[in-house]
């Protein structure tokens, strides 16, 4: 059970003078229940890749599989898969088409044929889950929200159908630090308590990196690194040559170790770093 691509290639506007290759033979697998991060410079193909994973874009060549079933195989199959894969766009407003927040979040469960009462319940639950007060927000127009609130509505709209896989393109853009922490807590909860598989594309991975099992790196449409988190972040030279930085805490701990102190590396959050530095002091004296 997984989401997988095989030699996925995408060319925008093929056969025209504007033809642009955005993905070049990208092959990877994310196993069920895992959290994967997709990182890479601007224009490296992250959003293009993500839009292939629920069939919004069609591969120029190559395949996308969900649970070993090609998502290209039939229209019915594609619709079935879209109910299992919740995709939150980089620009959430690009996915809005309802007049109210309620209708936006209700759209997918309504299509699944929920009755009025259970529909309202699932909308309220989804809004509360992302930290938006349902009573306060349900009648607002989705376009008239702040960018952080739009993102939360977009997340609620996909959570309302209880997806098996959640894919988020730059989910922290527009969120304040408290909003980022809330989103982090929500993702951690969805993954650990509901076993939802998660793929996050991001430039700002200091928080979400603590959740990640796997890290994939795109550069100019090619998957140039893919592996367990510690393995990818241990290869600092390669990441830096790709113009990418490590999470700040991880980089600092590696610097301390390189300066000759006995500390563990492979550390991704401040708390863990504090504890490790405490242990280092104990060892020193
Ligand atoms: N609709 C489109 N038509 C033509 N080219 C496109 C289109 N969308 C993206 N591209 C090109 O494809 C490449 C990959 O773009 P993509 O949006 O996937 O990158 P990204 O990694 O998501 O970047 P960012 O971090 O800025 O969001 C870029 O060179 C971009 O200019
Ligand atoms: Mg993008």
Query: Who lines ligand 1 at CB under 6 A?
Result: 12-13, 20, 22, 40, 42-48, 90
Residues 58-113: tens digit of each pLDDT: 999 999 999 888 888 788 888 888 889 999 998 888 889 999 999 999 998 888 78
What is the number of the ligand closest to the CA of 89?
Answer: 2
Return d(Cα 83, Cα 163) in angstroms, integer.
Answer: 6
What is the number of the ligand closest to the CA of 217?
Answer: 1
Residues 104-157: tens digit of each pLDDT: 999 988 887 878 888 999 999 999 999 999 999 999 999 999 988 999 999 999
Residue nearest to atom 2 of ligand 1 (CA): 12
Mean pLDDT (whole number) for 11-21: 95
Taking a 5 Å cut-off on Cβ, the residues next to ion ligand 2 are 46-47, 90
Return d(Cα 51, Cα 97) in angstroms, integer.
Answer: 18
Tokens of 44: 């490296």
Q: What number of other Cβ atoms are within 10 A of residue 194's Cβ?
A: 13
Domain 2-237: CATH superfamily is: P-loop containing nucleotide triphosphate hydrolases (3.40.50.300)
What is the number of the ligand closest to the CA of 45?
Answer: 1
Burial annotation 245-281 (CB, 10 A radius, 16+ → b, else e): ebbebbbbbbebbeeeeebebebbeeeebeebbeebe
Q: What was the pLDDT predicted at 285?
A: 64
Return d(Cα 44, Cα 206) in angstroms, integer.
Answer: 20
Tokens of 137: 């927000």
Q: Are 221 and 44 in contact (CB under 8 A)?
A: yes
- Beta-carbon contacts of 24 under 8 Å, excluding residues fewer than 6 positions away, are 9, 220, 221, 222
Tokens of 13: 């506007």
> Ligand 2 centre from 11 Cα, in Å?
16
Closest atom of ligand 1 relative to the 51 alpha carbon:
18
HSE, CB side, 13 Å, CA atoms: give it for residue 209: 24
Q: Is 93 exposed, middle or buried (0-12, 13-18, 19+ CB in 10 A)?
A: middle
Closest atom of ligand 1 relative to the 48 alpha carbon:
18
* Mean pLDDT score across all residues of the chain: 92
| Structural domain boundaries in the chain | 2-237, 247-285
């Amino acid at each position: 059970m997984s989401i997988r691509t095989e030699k996925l290639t995408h060319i925008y506007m093929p056969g025209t003078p504007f033809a642009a290759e955005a993905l070049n033979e990208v092959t990877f697998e994310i196993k069920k229940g895992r959290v994967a991060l997709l990182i890479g410079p601007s224009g490296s193909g992250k959003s293009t890749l993500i839009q292939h994973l629920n069939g919004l874009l069609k591969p120029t060549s190559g395949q996308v599989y969900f649970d070993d079933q090609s998502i290209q195989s039939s229209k019915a199959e594609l619709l079935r898969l879209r109910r299992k894969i919740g995709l939150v766009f980089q620009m959430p407003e690009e996915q809005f088409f309802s007049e109210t927040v309620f209708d936006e979040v209700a759209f997918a469960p309504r299509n699944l044929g929920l009755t009025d009462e259970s529909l309202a319940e699932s909308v309220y639950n989804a809004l509360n889950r992302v930290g938006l007060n349902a009573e306060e927000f349900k009648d607002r127009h989705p376009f008239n929200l702040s960018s952080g609130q739009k993102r939360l509505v977009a997340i609620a709209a996909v959570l309302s159908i209880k997806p098996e896989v959640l894919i988020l393109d730059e989910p922290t853009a527009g969120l304040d630090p408290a909003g980022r922490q809330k989103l982090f807590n929500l993702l951690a909860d969805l993954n650990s308590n509901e076993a939802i598989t998660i793929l996050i594309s991001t430039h700002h991975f200091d928080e979400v990196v603590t959740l990640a099992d796997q890290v994939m790196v795109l550069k100019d449409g090619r998957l140039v690194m893919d592996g367990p988190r510690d393995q990818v972040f241990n290869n600092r030279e390669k990441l830096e040559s790709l113009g990418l930085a490590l999470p700040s805490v991880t980089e600092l701990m590696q610097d301390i170790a390189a300066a000759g102190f006995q500390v563990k590396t492979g550390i991704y959050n401040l708390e863990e770093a504090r504890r490790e530095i405490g242990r280092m002091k104990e060892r020193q004296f």
